[in-house]
Amino acid sequence: MDVRKKTGKLGETAAAAFLEQQGVRILERNFRSRFGEIDLIGVDGPYLAVIEVKTRRGRGSGLGVEAVDLRKQQKICSTFNYYRMKRRLTDFVPVRFDVVEVDMASNCRWIKNAFEYMDH
């Protein structure tokens, strides 16, 4: 496993632990479809939270949330559409799209409603 993938996996583990401490119940890790991947899916109160995790090794890489550009958001939304169909979720389930930034010290910053759902 290359350094980037290993860093990402460590970040996802740290993010899941952090979110669980905040009361989020993690339902899925690394949900994949032909459209893409969702790092974490969890329940936060009334919301189904679709969570993208961005791990940074240093400040030179910029903020993690900046890496979740429009193209990445569209892939996440397409993957979520597949997830919703596969799990037979209705359109009435409140969904939120979040980003968790993780640094190498496993400090987490949770950005709720980081982006809006895009239907295409």
Question: Do the domain assignments include residue 101?
Answer: yes
CB atoms inside a 10 Å sphere around CB 25: 10
- The vertex-24 CA angle with 18 and 29, nearest 5°, equals 75
Give residue-wise pLDDT tens across range 11-48. 899 999 999 999 999 999 999 999 999 999 999 999 99
Query: What is the value of pTM for the model shown?
Result: 0.90
Q: What share of the chain is helix, strand, coil (3-state, %, to 5)?
A: 35, 40, 25
**What's 59's domain CATH number?**
3.40.1350.10
Question: Do the domain assignments include residue 83?
Answer: yes
Question: Do the domain assignments include residue 119?
Answer: no
Give residue-wise pLDDT tens across range 69-111. 999 999 999 999 999 999 999 889 999 999 999 987 778 999 9
Question: Do the domain assignments include residue 114?
Answer: no
- Domain of residue 66 covers 3-108
Q: How many domains does the chain have?
A: 1
